[in-house]
Structure 1
Amino acid sequence: MTRHEPHVEEADENNLDVGKPKDWAAGLPGVYHSMQPALKHMGIERSARTLLAMNQKQGFDCMSCAWPDPSGHRSTFEYCENGAKAVTWEATPVTVCSDFWAEHPISELRGRSEYWLGMQGRLTEPVYKAAGSQHYRPVDWDTAIEIVAEKLKSLASPDEAAFYTSGRASNEAAFLYQLFVRGYGTNNLPDCSNMCHESSGVAMGETLGVGKATVSYDDFLTTDLLIVMGQNPGTNHPRMLTAMEQQKENGGQIVAINPLPEAGLRRFKNPQKPRGVVGRGTDLADQFLQIRAGGDMALLQAVSKRVLDAEDRNPGGVLDHEFITEHCDGLAELREHLSHLDEPSIREATGLRSEEIDELAERYMTADSVIVCWAMGVTQQRNGVGTIKEIINLLLLRGNFGRPGAGAAPIRGHSNVQGDRTMGIWEQMPASFLDTLGEEFSFDPPREHGVDSVDAVRGMRDGAIRFFLSLGGNFASAMSDTGATEAAMEHLEMNVQISTKLNRSHTVVGQEALILPTLGRTEIDVQASGPQFVSVEDTVSAVHSSQGRVDPVAPNLLSEIAIISRIAHAVLGGRIAADWQGFEANYDLIRDHISHVVPGCGDYNRRIREKDGFLLANGPRDSRTFNTGTGRARMTVNQLDPMNCPPDRLILQTMRSHDQFNTTIYGYNDRYRGIKKGRHVLFVNPEDLARLGFSDGDLVDVHGESTDGKDRVLRSFRAVSYPSAQGCAAVYYPEGNVLVPLDDTVQGSNTPISKGVIIRLEHAAAAPVGDSSQEKAPAAR
Structure 2
Amino acid sequence: MNASEDPQQEPSPRADVEPSVGAVPAERPEFRAYHHPAAGWGAAKSVTRFLMREGEYVDGPRAIMKMNHENGGFDCPGCAWPDDIKGLKLDLCENGIKHVTWEMTRKRVDRAFFAAHPVAELSEWSDFALEDQGRLTEPMVYDAATDHYVPISWKDAFELVGSALRGLDDPNQAAFYTSGRLGNEPTFLYQLMARELGTNNLPDCSNMCHEASGRALEASLGTGKGTVDLKDWETTDALFIMGVNAASNAPRMLTALAQAYKRGAQVVHVNPLVEAAARRTIIPHDFVDMALFKSTRTSTLNIQPRIGGDMALLRGMAKAILEQAKTDPKALDQLFIDRHTHGFEEYRKVCEATSWEELERQSGVPRKDILKAARVYRDADRSIVSWCLGVTQHEHGVDTVREIVNLLLLRGNLGREGAGPSPVRGHSNVQGNRTCGIDHRPTTEFLERLGEVCGIDPPREHGKDTVATIEAMHRGELKVFVGMGGNFALAAPDTPYTYAGLRGCELTVHVSTKLNRSHLVHGRQALILPCLGRTERDRQRSGEQATSVEDSMSMVHLSRGMKHPASPHLLSEPAIIAGIARAALPGSSTPWEWYIEDYDRIRDTMAEVLDGFEDFNRRVRLPLGFRIKQPARELVFLTPSGKAEFSAAALPDVVPAPGTLALGTMRSHDQWNTTIYSDDDRYRGIKNLRTLVFMNRDDMRERGITEFDPVDVTATARDGSRRSLTGYLAVPYDIPRGCAAGYMPEMNVLCAIGDYSTQSDQPIMKHLKVTVTRSEAISTPPHGAEPAHLA
| TM-score, normalization by structure 2 | 0.95
Structure 2 unaligned segments of length 5 or more: list them.
1-20
Note the residue ranges of structure 1 that are not aligned, 5 or more in a row: 1-7, 777-781
How far residue 772 of structure 1 moved from its aligned partner, in angstroms, is 4.5
The residue aligned with 1:559 is: 572
| Amino acid in the other structure paired with 2:272 | P
Aligned residue number for residue 568 of structure 1: 581
Q: Partner residue of 1:5?
A: none
The whole-number CA distance in structure 2 between the counterparts of 1:446 and 1:67 is 34
1:93 to partner: Cα distance:
1.3
1:649-681 C-alpha deviation (Å, 9 max, x unpaired): 111000000001111111122111111112111
2:709 match: 698
Of the three residues 579, 586, 597, the one matched with 2:609 is 597
- Structure 1 residue 272, shift from structure 2 partner: 2.4
Using the alignment, how far apart are the partners of 1:561 and 1:66 within structure 2?
A: 21
> Residue 779 of structure 1 aligns with which residue?
none
Verify: 1:647 aligned to 2:661, yes or no.
no
Identity of aligned residues (%): 44
Map 1:364-513; keep pairs closer than 5 Å: 364-513=377-526
1:541-690 → structure 2 map (5 Å cutoff): 541-575=554-588, 577-621=589-633, 623-690=634-701
CA distance in 2, matches of 1:416, 1:164: 14
Query: What code does the residue aligned with 2:148 have?
Result: H
| Other structure's SS at 1:44 match | coil
Residue from 529, 532, 538 that aligns with 2:542: 529
Contact 2:489 2:521 survives alignment (8 Å): yes
Alpha-carbon shift at residue 17 of structure 1 (Å): 2.1
The answer to whether the 8 Å contact 2:485/2:511 transfers is yes
* DSSP 3-state at the match of 2:651: coil
SS for the counterpart of 1:147 is helix
1:513 & 1:88 partners in 2: Cα distance?
28
- Give 1:125 shift: 0.5
Partner residue in 1 for 2:193: 180
Q: Which runs of 4+ in 1 moved over 6 A?
A: none
**Residue type of the partner of 1:563?**
I
Contact 1:714/1:771 (8 A) holds in 2: no
What amino acid is the match of 2:626?
F
The equivalent of 2:301 in structure 1 is: 287
The amino acid of 1:587's aligned partner reads: Y
Equivalent pair of 1:711/1:773 in contact (CA under 8 Å): no
Question: Quick one: distance in 1 between partners of 2:688 and 2:336?
Answer: 54
8 Å contact 1:27–1:277 — kept in the other structure?
Answer: no
Give how far 1:144 is off. 0.9
Residue 9 of structure 1 deviates from its aligned partner by 6.0
Structure 1 residue 764, shift from structure 2 partner: 2.1
Counterpart Cα distance in 2 of 1:768 and 1:41? 26
Rounded Cα–Cα distance in structure 1 between residues aligned with 2:685 and 2:499: 32
In structure 1, what is the Cα distance between the partners aligned to 2:499 and 2:291? Answer: 46
Mapped contact 1:11–1:677 kept (Cα < 8 A): no
Output the aligned Cα RMSD.
Answer: 1.6
CA contact (8 A) 1:191 1:425 kept: yes
Partner of 2:13: none
SS of the equivalent of 2:719 reads coil
Q: Tell me the distance in 2 between the aligned counterparts of 1:683 and 1:409.
A: 29
> How far apart are residue 749 of structure 1 and its match?
0.9
For residues 508-531 of structure 1, the C-alpha deviation after alignment (integer angstroms, 9 at most, x for no partner) is 112010000000000011011110
Q: Which residue in 1 is equivalent to 2:229? A: 216
- Could you say what secondary structure the match of 2:176 adopts? strand
2:358 corresponding residue in structure 1: 345
Quick one: distance in 2 between partners of 1:14 and 1:547?
A: 41
Give deviations 1:390-428, integer Å, cap 9, x for gaps.
000000000000111100011000000000101000011
Residue 36 of structure 1 deviates from its aligned partner by 2.6
- Structure 2 contact 56–101 (Cα < 8 Å) conserved: no
> Residue 437 of structure 2: SS of its match in structure 1?
coil
Does residue 264 of structure 1 match 2:277?
A: yes
Deviation string for 1:709-739 (max 9, x for gaps)? 2221111111011111221111001111010
> Using the alignment, how far apart are the partners of 1:240 and 1:133 within structure 2?
49
Q: Which residue of 2 aligns with 1:300?
A: 314
- Per-residue CA deviation, residues 378-398 of structure 1 (Å, 9 max, x unaligned), is 000221110001000000000
Q: How many residues align?
A: 766
Aligned twin of 1:275: 289
| C-alpha separation in 2, matches of 1:483 and 1:559 | 32
**Partner of residue 161, structure 1:** 174
**Which of 47, 53, 68 is residue 34 of structure 1 equivalent to?**
47
Residues in 2 aligned to 1:476 and 1:516: alpha-carbon distance in whole angstroms: 17
Q: Kindly indicate whether structure 1 or structure 2 has the higher relative contact order, using CA contacts under 8 Å at least 6 residues apart.
A: 2
Q: CA deviation at 1:429?
A: 1.0
Amino acid aligned to 1:88: T
Question: What is residue 207 of structure 1 aligned with on the other side?
Answer: 220
| 1:137 partner SS | strand
